[in-house]
Amino acid sequence: MLRLEATLVVRPGVPAPSEELFVQYLATYSYRHGSGKEKKALTYSDLSNTAEESETFQFLADILPKKILASKYLKMLKEKRDEDEEENDSDDGSAGDEAES
């Protein structure tokens, strides 16, 4: 019983054995299914692809997003902002028509 209690004690900064096994499984799975085999390396892209494509690791998709260039992100952000402005402009116009009726 004492051994079980010692195992269950939370130690900040020290990963639990289950965490270690999970990370090991994630890394092994990502390496086997990734493109790093040629280089004998595990890359961030391998991890993010695993999170996106594997049902088992789908919950990690927000934590391990695919990398994109900053310029591409800024362009996407600008397009989204423009779409939102167009929606707001069209909403304002239709609300004015209803008020006049």
Residue-wise pLDDT tens digits, 16-41: 888 899 999 999 999 988 876 677 88
- From CA 32, how far away is CA 50, in angstroms rounded? 10
How much is the pLDDT for 33? 86
Q: Where do the domains of the chain lie?
A: 16-67, 68-101
- The pTM is what? 0.56
pLDDT of residue 71: 92
Q: What is the CA radius of gyration of the chain?
A: 24
- Could you report the per-residue pLDDT of 33-81, keeping only the tens digit for each? 887 667 788 888 899 999 999 999 999 988 888 888 899 989 999 999 9
Provide the pLDDT for residue 101. 47
Distances from the Cα of 59 to the Cα of 42, 55, 62, 85, 100, angstroms? 20, 8, 7, 32, 50
Rounded to whole angstroms, what are the CA distances from 60 to 37, 48, 54, 57, 92? 22, 8, 10, 6, 39
